[in-house]
Amino acid sequence: MSSSVISSPLPASAGPRSGAPLVLAASALWGTTGTAASYAPAGASALSIGAATMGVGGLLTLAVAGRSALAVLRGGPEVLRCALLGALGVVVYPLAFYTSMAWAGVAVGTVVSLGCAPVFAALLERLLDGTRLTRRWLAATGCAALGCAALVLTGDGGAGGDRTGPGVALGLVAGAAYAAYAYYGARIIRGGHSSRGSMGALFGLGATVLLPVFAATGGALVGERRGLVVAAYLAVVPMWLAYVLFGAGLARVSVSAATTLSLFEPVVAAALGVVVVGERLGGVAWTGVGLVVVGLLLLTVRRRVTPSPAGSSGAPRRSRRTG
């Protein structure tokens, strides 16, 4: 495609070292969702929790973005098309993600949803933009994927029974939806719109669908004070604040890199499960966490290039120090 929405490169000052901390911070906040949702009233459905999180949070994101979000919606047919496709991902993601956790278990649902997202993101960039996959990305994603597989193999299966398989399938749907809205959000940003406006437009449009779902399913969630606190936290912290950080990170790193960096979420989720919820992880699970961390380091730590000494010949040499 030849639209300026896709052809605009990253800013010259942008790079993994400037954008990675923002995406990692967002991922850390996302990692609290499973623990927070575990405090919801017993009768609250996964659909209501997902719709509340990104419906109410999306409305807040739109309100904070203000005119910059309206500028995206008025940016022309191609920008509007990207916004609508991204909003579709915003709608599908929370409904599939929270249901996946309810059916397959928090650990398995989180790991499958986030673990497959970099693959879908890379395929989107390859098919639609012609982006080549680097060896660094392949190595980083390979390590992280192995780590995610280790975590899945040690999962307790949540509800188990016949719903585990469909729960894993919904995790794949959630991963594809996440990659889609990250991809289209990045295209809008690189077309000249602010990250706040892009996220505001996508999540504002998504809220128009998610809020009615919340109204229809959220009775048990909002019927108790505890449910209101959980819904408020999920909407404000791991939704609104996290996506402000994520949108800023998307302006500085590629979509495939951002989705790989977001694999920090299951690491945080696993740690909180042990420390807060009281879950236990075996040696294989901790090995999986370590592999995810290695994948993140491969993507974020770069060797510095140092110039050759004056008067010497040959190409610049790389320092062994990392930065």
Average pLDDT over residues 289-300: 76
pLDDT at 77: 93
**Who's near 108: CB < 8 A, 6+ residues apart?**
100, 151, 152, 155, 157, 158, 164, 167, 168, 171
In angstroms, the CA 234 to CA 33 distance is: 7
pLDDT at 233: 94
Closest C-alpha to 37, from 55, 53, 18, 60? 53
CA angle 294, 300, 305 (to 5 degrees): 120
Average pLDDT over residues 276-302: 74
Q: What is the pLDDT of residues 36-91, one digit of tens each?
A: 888 899 889 999 999 999 999 999 999 989 899 999 999 999 999 999 999 999 99
Q: What is the pLDDT of residues 171-215, one digit of tens each?
A: 889 999 999 999 999 899 888 898 889 989 999 999 999 999 999
pLDDT at 227: 93
What is this structure's pTM? 0.76
- pLDDT of 10 strictly over 50: no
- pLDDT of 315 strictly over 50: no
Q: What is the CA radius of gyration of the chain?
A: 20
Residue 258 pLDDT grade (very low, low, confident, very high; cuts 50, 70, 90): confident
Residue 107 pLDDT grade (very low, low, confident, very high; cuts 50, 70, 90): confident
Phi-psi sector, 310: left (phi>0), alpha (psi -120 to 50), beta? beta
pLDDT at 14: 46
Question: Which residues are registered as beta bridge partners of 306?
Answer: 317
